[in-house]
Structure 1
Amino acid sequence: MSNLQEQANQLEQALRESKEFQDLKQAYEAVMSDEIAKQMFENFRETQLNLQEKHMQGQDISEEEIEKARQIVETVQQHDAISKLMEEEQKLNNVINEISQTITKPLEELYGAAE
């Protein structure tokens, strides 16, 4: 295994141990332990994935589908546990984006210097 892969594995472990991931995990478990929240969240995720799949396949998304998705988002955001889960997910995504920027910095510098 290369040194880079070993460091990536260490980064994975650090991410699992991070406060952001632990907070997300707790928020996820809270949603999954509440049957109503779980059903609402699964409906939200299914709608989200269906729209993404249609978009990636170049299919049109109807106004009806967009409105349904908006209503689902509004509903789940009003549920405290789901709202907390989404908040914690955003915090972890911010950390991952910062890490990604750090990792890709050598490429950005290399290709940026060529311009």
Structure 2
Amino acid sequence: MAVNIYDDINKLESTFRSTEEFEKLEAAVESVKADNEANELFKSFRDLQISLQQKQSQGEEISEEEMMSAQETAQAAQQNPKILAMLEAEMGLSQMIEEVNRVLIKPVQSLYESM
């Protein structure tokens, strides 16, 4: 009998959206979006991160000036209480996702450990 794991994954997604961790992040994102200054600051921070990651992945050199700008933008973002709350909520959610990944990978690990 074939198993359709996607039914379970879709159920897990629904459960995931109902967790306290997800709801905290959702509320924190809404709080940032409602504050024009915080929203613009976060967009600038995110765009800069993406730009630097693209450069790195393409093997391009990141200048000292770009690194300084990135650090200044990150510091400014983290000093904003709404952005900080959002980043902290995201970390809580990430921990839950990591735990789910650990549980999902256990069967594969046990296969290799049995060798």
- TM-score range normalised by the length of the shorter chain: over 0.9
- The equivalent residue for 1:72 is 73
Indicate the SS of the match to 1:93.
Answer: helix
**After TM superposition, what 4+ stretches of structure 1 lie above 3 angstroms from structure 2?**
none
Deviates more, 1:6-15 or 1:59-68: 59-68
- The equivalent residue for 2:53 is 52
How is 1:1-12 mapped onto 2 (pairs within 5 angstroms)? 2-12=3-13
| TM-score normalised over the length of structure 1 | 0.93
How is 1:84-95 mapped onto 2 (pairs within 5 angstroms)? 84-95=85-96
- The equivalent residue for 2:101 is 100
Identity in percent: 35
CA drift of 1:109 comes to 1.6
Q: Structure 2: 5+ residue runs without aligned partners?
A: none
Deviates more, 1:42-51 or 1:57-66: 57-66
- Distance 1:59-1:30 versus aligned 2 partners, 3 A rule: same
Structure 1: which amino acid aligns with 2:110?
A: E
Structure 2: which amino acid aligns with 1:88?
A: A
CA drift of 1:12 comes to 0.6
**Equivalent pairs, count:** 114
| TM-score normalised over the length of structure 2 | 0.93
CA drift of 1:2 comes to 4.3
CA drift of 1:3 comes to 2.9
Distance in structure 2 (CA, Å) of the matches to 1:47 and 1:7:
37
Deviates more, 1:49-58 or 1:32-41: 49-58
CA drift of 1:52 comes to 1.1
- The equivalent residue for 1:42 is 43
Deviates more, 1:56-65 or 1:26-35: 56-65
CA drift of 1:112 comes to 3.1
Indicate the SS of the match to 1:60.
Answer: coil
Structure 1: which amino acid aligns with 2:109?
A: E
Query: Cα RMSD between the aligned structures?
Result: 1.3
